[in-house]
Amino acid sequence: MSISALPAGKTAGLRRTSPRAWICLAVMAVLLAVGIAVRLQSGDTARTTELTAQASALTSAQEQLDTLQTRFERRETQLAEAKAALEAAPDDESLLSKLDRAQGEYDKALRNRDQQSAKVEAMPTIETINGEINDLKESSARSALLANGLTLLAILAAALAIAYLVRTADGKVLLGIGGLALAGALIVAAIYRNDLHPVTAAGQTAPGTLMIAVGIGIAALAHILYWCFLTKARVDFKLGLGAVLIAVAAGLFIVGLMKNNAPDAASKYINSMSPGFMNLFVGAVLLIVGSLILALPMTRIRYDLRKNPMLMLMALPSIVYFLITSYLPMVGVYFAFTSYQFTKDFFSTLFGSKFVGLSNFAYLFSSGLAWRMTFNTVVYNFIFIVGGTVLKVGIAIMFSEIAGKYYKKFVQTATFLPHFISMVMVGTFAYNILNYSSGILNNALVHLGLQRIDVYSIPGAWYVILPLVDFWKGVGYGSIIYVSAITGISEELYEAADLDGANFMQEIRHITIPSIRPTIIILTLMSLGSIMKGNFDLFYQLVGESGQLMETTEIIDTYVWRSLRQNVQIGMGSAAGLYQSFVGMVLVVLVNTIVKKIEPDYAIF
C-alpha cells in the first residue's frame, strides 16, 4: 500500500511511513521465523516418539521374558517330578511316555526363553533410553525458552512497528486492514472452536467466547485507526486504549455472567464467591479505567501535576471521597440487575449475586408498584412546585411592598422559623394537630359541633395535608430569592408608571411580575428537573409506615427505604432507585437544554 495510491486530499498533511516501521516489521518477521524454526527443530518429536516406543517395547519384551521364565521353571519342576516318578516305578509305560512329553515341553520352554532373552539383550537398555529422553527434554525446554524469548522480542518489534505505523497515513490503513484481518481470523477460529466443542449444558460458556471478545476489540481498534485516517486526525492512543479496555471489559462481563448463571453455578460457589466473580470484578475495573482514560483531559492534568502539585494534593481528598461515597455506589447500581445474595464484603456481594437481567424492573412495572409511586412522587412534587411558587411569589411581593421596618422584621423572623426545625418536630406538630383523640383540629371541630375526622384513615386527605405542611415549612424561607429579585427591579420603571397614572395594582401586574418572570420560570424549570426526587423526611415523619395510606403516600423514596429496611428486597429497591436516578438525570438535562434556550445565563451547564 503506497501513499500515492490514495486520493491526494485525504493524505495531505500526513507523513509518509517511516522506514523504521518496515525495519521493525522485518525484524519482527525474522524473529518470529527463527523462533518458529527453533521450536520446530528443537523438539525432534519423532525421535522422542521412537524412544518412547522403544521403551515400551522393551518393557513388554521384559514382561514376556518374565512370563517365559516362569513357564520354563514350571516345566523344569514337572520334568524333575516325572524323572522321580519313573525312578520309583521304572517299568511303568505310561510314566515313560509322560517323561518324554515333559522333556519335550521343557526343551520348548528353554528354547523360547533363550530366544526372548537374546531379543532383550539385543535391545538398548532402559537406562540408555531414559537418558536420551531426558537429554531431549532438556534441550526442548531450552529451545522453548529461546523461542518464547524470540516471540517476545518479535512482539516488542511489532509494537514498535505499530507505534511508527500509526503516525502515518498508509501505516494506519495497513494496521486497520491487518487488524480487521486478524479480528476476522480470530472470530472464524472461535466459531470453528465452538463447533468443535459444542456447549452441552445450558448457560455454559462457549470455548470461543473470549476469542470473539478479543476479536471484536481488535476490530474496534482497527476501525478507529481507519477513522483517524479518514478524518486526518492523529491517532489517539487514549481513544484506542480506552475503547479496547471497554471492549475487553464487556467480554469479561459476558463471560462472568454466563458463569454465574450456569445451572451448576450454585455448587461452584467457594467462600460465597460466585464462579464468575473474577471476570466481573476485572471487567468492572477495566471498564472504569477505560472510561477514565477516555474521559480525562490528560494534557491539563499533566500540566497541573507539574505546575500545581500542591493544588492537586489539596483536591485529592475530595476526589477520593467522591470516588468512594458517590462513584462506588454508582457501580452498585448493578444490584438492580441481580437477585441479592448477602455476604460480608461489598464486591463479593455485588458480583456474587445472581444476574437476573431486567426482571426486577419487569416486576416493578408489571405489578403496578412503579406506576403508583411514580404517580405519587410526580403529583406531590407538582403540587409542591406550583403551589409553592405561587405562595412564595405572593409573599415576596407583599413583603417587599409593605411599610414598617419592625413589622417586616417580625414577619421575616416568624416565617423563617419553620425552616430551621427538624422534620421530626414537624411530624410531632402535625400529629398533635391531626390526631383523632386529642388533636387540635378535632377539638376545634367538636367545639363547632361537627364530627371528628380521622385523617390517618383517609388516604385522599394527604394530597392536601402534605402540601400544606410543605408550604408551612418552606414558603417563608423560599420567598427570599424572589424578594431579592424584586429588590433588583429598577425604581425608574415605577416612577414612569406613576407619571402615566398607573395605580398600585397595575404596577404590580405590569412591572413587578414581568420583571421577576425569568426568575420564576427558571426556578420552576429547575424544580421540575428534580420532580422524581421525593422528600423522604416529610413523608416518613408525617405518614410513617402506615399501610392504610400507602396508596396515596407511597413515593419512590419511601419504597426504596422500605425495601432496604423492612422487606429486604435489595434488588427491587435498587431497581427503583436506579429508575429514579436515571429518569431524574434525563429530566435535568432536558430542562437545562430548555433553560439554555430561554436564558443562557441561568443554565447550569
Partner 1 sequence: MEMRRKINRGYRIFNIVSKILLGVFAALCLLPFILMVIGSFTDNGEVIREGYSLFPKKWSTAAYDMLFSYPDNIIRAYRNTIIQTVVGTAISLFCVSMTGYVLSRQDFQSRNVIAFFFYFTMLFGGGLIPWYIVMKQVLHLENTLWAIMVPSFFGAYNIFLMRNFIKQGVPSELFECSKLDGAGDMRIFLQIVLPLSIPSLATIGLFIALGLWNDWYLCMLFISDSEKQSLQYYLYSMLNSAKALREIQARSGIVLDVDLPSETSKLAMSMVATGPILLVYPFIQRYFIKGLTVGAVKG
Based on CB atoms, which residue is closest to partner 1, 79 or 588? 588
DSSP letters spanning 438-454: T-HHHHHHHHTT-----
In the shown chain, the binding pattern of residues 485 to 504 toward partner 1, with x for contact by CB under 8 A and - for none, equals: ------x--xx--x----xx
User: For residues 548 and 456, is the Cβ–Cβ distance under 8 A?
Assistant: yes
Nearer to partner 1, 47 or 517 (CB): 517
**E strand segments, 194-344:** 338-339
In the stretch 368-407, what mask flags binding to partner 1 with x, by CB under 8 A? ---------------------------x--xx-xxxx--x
Could you give the CA distance from residue 435 to residue 553 in angstroms, rounded to a whole number? 17
Closest distance of CB 568 from partner 1, Å = 10
The number of angstroms, rounded, from the C-alpha of 145 to the middle of its chain's C-alpha atoms is 37
- Among positions 430-469, residues that touch partner 1 (CB under 8 A) are 431-433, 437-440, 442-443
Binding window for partner 1 (CB under 8 A); candidates: 41-49, 119-127, 219-227, 421-429: 421-429
Task: Supply the minimum distance, in Å, between the C-beta of residue 439 and partner 1.
Answer: 7
Which among 3-11, 15-23, 84-92, 300-308 is the span making contact with partner 1, rule CB under 8 A?
Answer: 300-308
Q: Which is nearer to partner 1, 237 or 321 (CB)?
A: 321
The stretch among 19-27, 157-165, 282-290, 292-300 that binds partner 1 (CB under 8 A) is 292-300
Is 584 a binder of partner 1 (CB under 8 A)?
Answer: yes
For residue 338, the cross-strand partners are 355
- Which residue's CB is nearer to partner 1, number 337 or number 384? 337
Q: How far is the CB of 385 from partner 1 (least distance, A)?
A: 17
Rounded-to-integer distance, Cα 322 and Cα 313, Å? 15
- Tell how many helices (H) and how many strands (E) occur in the chain: 28, 2
Which position among 22, 226, 382, 536 is part of the footprint of partner 1 (CB under 8 A)?
A: 536
Taking the least distance from each CB to partner 1, the nearer of 162 and 570 is 570
Using rule CB under 8 A, residue 289 touches partner 1: no
Among 166, 573, 591, 595, binds partner 1 (CB under 8 A): 573
Q: Which of 411, 511, 521, 550 binds partner 1 (CB under 8 A)?
A: 411
CB of 165 closer than 8 Å to CB of 171:
yes
Report yes or no: 28 and 157 within 8 Å, Cβ to Cβ. Answer: yes
Instruction: Supply the Cα-derived Rg of the chain in whole angstroms.
Output: 44
Q: Which secondary structure element, helix H or strand E, spans residue 354, and what is its range?
A: strand 354-355
In whole angstroms, how close is the CB of 304 to partner 1 at the nearest point?
5
Q: Burial level of 570, CB count in 10 A (0-12/13-18/19+)?
A: buried
127 to 146, contacts with partner 1 by CB under 8 A? Answer: none
The rounded distance, in Å, linking the Cα atoms of 386 and 404 is 30
Cβ distance to partner 1 smaller for residue 53 or 316: 316
- 270 DSSP assignment: B
Judged by CB, which is closer to partner 1: 148, or 484? 484
Residue number, 210 or 455, with CB nearest to partner 1: 455
Among 141, 410, 464, 510, binds partner 1 (CB under 8 A): 410
Distance in angstroms (rounded) separating the CA atoms of residues 200 and 197: 9
Q: Is the dihedral of CA 590, 592, 598, 600 positive or negative?
A: negative
Query: Which of 82/395 has CB closer to partner 1?
Result: 395
Q: Which range in 217-225, 234-242, 357-365, 427-435 contacts partner 1 by CB under 8 A? A: 427-435
What's the closest the beta carbon of residue 560 comes to partner 1, in angstroms? 5
Q: How many residues bind partner 1 (CB under 8 A)?
A: 110
Q: Judged by CB under 8 A, which stretch of 1-9, 210-218, 424-432, 454-462 contacts partner 1?
A: 424-432
The binder of partner 1 chosen from 119, 581, 594, 596 (CB under 8 A): 581
Residue ranges in 541-570 that form contacts with partner 1 under rule CB under 8 A? 541, 544, 557, 560-561, 563-565, 570
> Residues 302, 307, 310, 315: is their CA dihedral positive or negative?
negative
Helices 169-196 and 209-230 pack at an angle, to 10 degrees, of 160
> What cell numbers appear for 585 in the block?
438525570
One residue of 126, 421, 450, 464 binding partner 1 per CB under 8 A: 421
Enumerate residues 173-192 that contact partner 1 by CB under 8 A.
Answer: none
Q: What are phi and psi of 433, to 5 degrees?
A: -85, -40
417 binds partner 1 (CB under 8 A): yes
Q: Which of 583, 529, 522 is nearest to 556 (CA)?
A: 583
Selection from 281, 206, 219 nearest residue 247 by Cα = 219
Torsion of CA 461, 384, 574, 580, to 10 degrees: 130
Site for partner 1 in 502-531 (CB under 8 A): 503-505, 507-508
Task: Compute the least distance from the CB of residue 400 to partner 1, in Å.
Answer: 9
Side-chain-facing half-sphere of 232: CA atoms under 13 Å: 10
- Residues with Cβ within 8 Å of residue 515, at least 6 apart in sequence: 485, 486, 489, 493
Spacing of C-alpha 556 from chain mean position? 25
- Nearest Cα neighbor of 211 from 200, 219, 203, 202 is 219
Cα–Cα distance, 153 to 336 (Å, whole number): 46
Site string for partner 1, 213-232 (x = CB under 8 A): --------------------
Which residue number, 70 or 428, has a Cβ lying nearer to partner 1?
A: 428
- CB of residue 188 to partner 1, shortest distance in Å: 41
In the bound complex, what is the minimum distance in angstroms from residue 236's beta carbon to partner 1? 17
Q: Which is nearer to partner 1, 205 or 272 (CB)?
A: 272
- Of 248 and 549, nearer to partner 1 (C-beta) is 549
522, 599 contact by CB (below 8 A) = yes
- Taking the least distance from each CB to partner 1, the nearer of 131 and 488 is 488
In the region spanning residues 51 to 110, those forming contacts with partner 1, defined by CB under 8 A, are none
CA dihedral (141, 145, 150, 152) positive or negative: positive
Residue numbers 305-344 binding partner 1 by CB under 8 A? 307-308, 310-312, 314-315, 317-319, 321-322, 324-333, 335, 344
Cell numbers at residue 388, please?
Answer: 409553592
d(CA 327, CA 61) in angstroms, rounded, equals 72
